[in-house]
Amino acid sequence: KQEVTQIPAALSVPEGENLVLNCSFTDSAIYNLQWFRQDPGKGLTSLLLIQSSQREQTSGRLNASLDKSSGRSTLYIAASQPGDSATYLCAVRTEGTSGSRLTFGEGTQLTVNP
Amino acid sequence: GAGVSQSPRYKVAKRGQDVALRCDPISGHVSLFWYQQALGQGPEFLTYFQNEAQLDKSGLPSDRFFAERPEGSVSTLKIQRTQQEDSAVYLCASSLARDNIQYFGAGTRLSVL
């Protein structure tokens, strides 16, 4: 059974700092990995999708990397801003009979202080 | 609308009551997913539809949970005889196909008293 772990559970940084969020998964047979952002009382917003054949994806100040063989992904946020404050969730889509489902980590709650 | 729409946004139910949660996916999206998110946790998969066919219901926690998508568009998640442990946010997501990015609704927060 696929398990996804995110470290740290919570992070508080001053504005302008670069930061890294970590995600690890136990079953490396994945189709893809997604990073989401969730604001309080809101649904999930997809930030980046990395296919299993890719090593990284970039969007603006965000860069996500994937090391499939070691079961790890990182989300790098450059020059953090207060508007980046949210919970960041990592999710993987695993190969196999239940390949439709996403398995999520518990999230990293990020606070960027002005 | 342009996004996934869920209703109601909030639902308070007495223990033992039946509830129905609605999801309107993005128009043209073939795949539809339901997830359950407990407080402080990541979402957990419940069930998946491709058009009107329910292809995976392995995440439904008990036979009190039932989902349908009869015309391949709107979906309803029904919970019978609700219990306190059913309290959670229920998220719906849709995608163009199974392999594509999933777009999530804002969720329905269910509180069972």
Q: What is the pLDDT along chain A (114 residues), one digit of tens a residue?
A: 899 999 999 999 999 999 999 999 999 989 899 999 999 888 899 999 999 999 999 999 999 999 999 999 999 999 999 999 999 999 999 877 555 789 999 999 999 999
pLDDT of residue A103: 94
Q: Measured between CB atoms, which of B48, B103, B105 is closest to A100?
A: B48
Q: Is B53 on the interface with A (CB under 8 A)?
A: no
pLDDT of residue B7: 96
Q: Please judge whether A100 and B102 are an interchain contact, meaning their C-beta atoms are less than 8 angstroms apart.
A: no
Strands (E), A15-113: 19-25, 30-38, 44-51, 56-59, 62-67, 72-77, 86-94, 102-104, 108-113
Angle value at C-alpha A86, between B98 and A28, nearest 5 degrees: 40
Question: CA–CA separation, B8 vs B107, rounded Å?
Answer: 8
Q: Please judge whether B40 and A34 are an interchain contact, meaning their C-beta atoms are less than 8 angstroms apart.
A: no
pLDDT of residue B105: 94
- Consecutive 10-residue runs of chain B (113 residues): their mean pLDDT? 90 97 96 94 93 92 96 96 97 86 93 96
pLDDT of residue B76: 98
Question: CA–CA separation, A88 vs A46, rounded Å?
Answer: 10
pLDDT of residue B80: 97
Q: Please judge whether A44 and B104 are an interchain contact, meaning their C-beta atoms are less than 8 angstroms apart.
A: yes
pLDDT of residue A98: 56
The residues, any chain, with a CB within 8 Å of residue A53's CB and separated by 6 or more, are: none
Q: Which two tokens stand for residue A95?
A: 């190969």
Tell me if A90 sits within 8 A of A2, measured CB to CB: no
Q: Is B18 on the interface with A (CB under 8 A)?
A: no
Q: Please judge whether B101 and A41 are an interchain contact, meaning their C-beta atoms are less than 8 angstroms apart.
A: no
Q: Please judge whether A89 and B42 are an interchain contact, meaning their C-beta atoms are less than 8 angstroms apart.
A: yes
To which residue do tokens 């129905």 refer? B20
The single-letter DSSP state of residue B102 is P
Q: Which residues of A touch B31 (CB under 8 A)?
A: 100
pLDDT of residue A1: 86
Closest residue on chain A to B57 (Cα): A98
DSSP A14-37: ETT--EEEEEEES---EEEEEEEE
The residues, any chain, with a CB within 8 Å of residue B75's CB and separated by 6 or more, are: B22, B23, B25, B32, B34, B49, B67, B68, B69, B92
pLDDT of residue A109: 96
Most distant pair of Cα atoms in chain B: their distance: 38
